[in-house]
Amino acid sequence: MTTAVYVLLNIVIIAGLIGLLIYMQKKHVSFSKRVFTGLGLGVLLGTFLQLAYGTGSEVVGQTTEWYNILGRGYVKLLMMIVIPLIMVSIIQSIINLEKSSELGKMSAWIIGILVGTAMLAALVGVAASLIFNLNAGEIEAGQAEQDRGIYLEERLDGLENMSTPQKILEFIPSNPFEDMTGARATSTIAVVIFSAFIGIAVLGVRRKAPEQAEMFTKIINSIYAVVMRIVTLVLRLTPFGILGLMANTVANTDIGGVLELGKFVLASYVALFAMFIIHLVFVGVFGLNPLTYVKKVLPVLGFAFTSRSSAGTIPLNVQAQKNNLGVPDGIANMSASFGATIGQNGCAGIYPAMLAVMIAPSQGINPLDLSFLIPLVIITGISSFGVAGVGGGATFAALIVLSAMNLPVALAGLLITVEPLIDMGRTALNVNGAMTSGTLTSRILGKLDMKKFNDKEAIEKDLSNAL
């Protein structure tokens, strides 16, 4: 049979799996079960493509292009609603604040928890590298790795000219309409800041011209209702999107490269899991049931894992915090938005620290020396501001940290073959860090809806009614 026939057969197979998910929806199978069914079916389908045609074959290449309509198309729809969701949600939540000073407290706690856990994640990354005795000098560099190293050095040239104050200035929106297009890595935060200014301005107008403020509030509430309906429509597609994303990921995974760098992959996932446990410990310390928390965030983490996009996960993140965990609108939106670009525990915490410890011996540096460890943790925390919430953000963070520690960035190119596999776990941890920051901030400020958090069926009831 020709390539076209095989591709058509593969399209028919995924169409049948889509039909199964639609059947489950009609039978009112819970949303979370449909999400994980899509995940499992995607793994099986991707494995079939690997075994039947081989990674890199023309059939797999053309098949995954068609599957991308389902997978990456879903991610694009999520990205489509990120900016409108953030804008109207932030404005509405500030308008509903009793005191404008509450905004400062919310922001401070959310950012503090994100950056603090990122620095803690750096220590976890250091420990994992030392325990598994990772050393960049032991990794063999092929042509692809060398090309990647050259690319990273070229990309570094554009970053070295920016000082820390200049990087902070990148958060401030000079053209909010440009940032609404996602033109910059810090566009999400810039939109949050712009939206906050609008909300605070409305609070001021309410005191001097209550009629105009009331009219604006009604308009925002109407827009919010429409945007949330769009969010609901898009989220209905989650099981199908995960099916396409997971099938493509597994089908294109370089098994040989994974086996060759198996120790690094294992060390990375041990570190990611350890940090996830630390998140749960924090949840427990603040008097919340960690198991209840896990049950309610798993569908979101499943999508983050397959999509490798913290920014794309924002709508799911916000919905889960509000509907499942009992986090107020304002805190949910801020933690999800900030968490997509600030303090990412996986991409900006664990990964750069692991690379630094791996590369240090090649430069004659003892990674256990406090004069190396202390600056590494501090630099990791500072550099965790402004990491892009899409695939590749970890590379951006690694470039900043390695260059600040005077370590060669080209050696980071040695891990190109396993980057996608590790990035899946890193993204899931990033998103969980954002959800943890929102949950803990709500708890600290006494705003967490404990009845909703402790309602073990809230996830099913809310999603069934909405989806």
Q: At 99, phi and psi to the nearest 5?
A: -135, 140
Residues forming a β-bridge with 385: 342
Q: What pLDDT does 143 receive?
A: 43
Query: Which helix (H) or strand (E) covers residue 147, if one does?
Result: helix 143-160
Closest CA to 459 of 298, 221, 287: 298
| Higher per-residue confidence, 63 vs 400 | 63
Q: How many CA atoms lie less than 13 Å away from 427 in the CB half-sphere?
A: 29
For residues 452-466, one letter each, b for 16 or more C-beta atoms within 10 angstroms of the residue's C-beta and e for the rest, the string is bbebeebbbebbeeb
For residues 373-398, one letter each, b for 16 or more C-beta atoms within 10 angstroms of the residue's C-beta and e for the rest, the string is beebbebbbbbbbbbbbbbebbbbbb
pLDDT in tens, 6-62: 999 999 999 999 999 999 989 888 877 888 899 899 989 998 998 888 877 889 889
Closest CA to 320 of 347, 294, 281: 294
The chain-wide mean pLDDT, for the chain, equals 83
Residue partners of 183: CB distance under 8 A and separation at least 6: none
| Rounded mean pLDDT, 223-245 | 87
User: In this structure, which amino acid lies at residue 386?
Assistant: G
Contact 65, 244 (CB under 8 A): no
- DSSP string of 162-207, one letter each residue: --HHHHHHTTS-S-HHHHTTT-STTHHHHHHHHHHHHHHHHHHHHH
Ranges of each domain in the chain: 3-466
Q: What percent of the chain has pLDDT over 70?
A: 84
Q: Work out the pLDDT band at 94, boundaries 50, 70, 90.
A: confident
| Rounded mean pLDDT, 146-175 | 60
Q: At 236, phi and psi to the nearest 5?
A: -60, -25
Q: What pLDDT does 416 receive?
A: 60
Q: How far apart are CA 123 and CA 125, in angstroms?
A: 5
Q: Which CATH number fits domain 3-466: 3.30.1300.10, 1.10.3860.10, 1.10.1040.10, 3.30.565.10?
A: 1.10.3860.10
Q: What pLDDT does 127 receive?
A: 94
For residue 402, pLDDT over 70 is answered with yes
User: In this structure, which amino acid lies at residue 49?
Assistant: L
The pTM score is 0.78
| Rounded mean pLDDT, 419-438 | 90
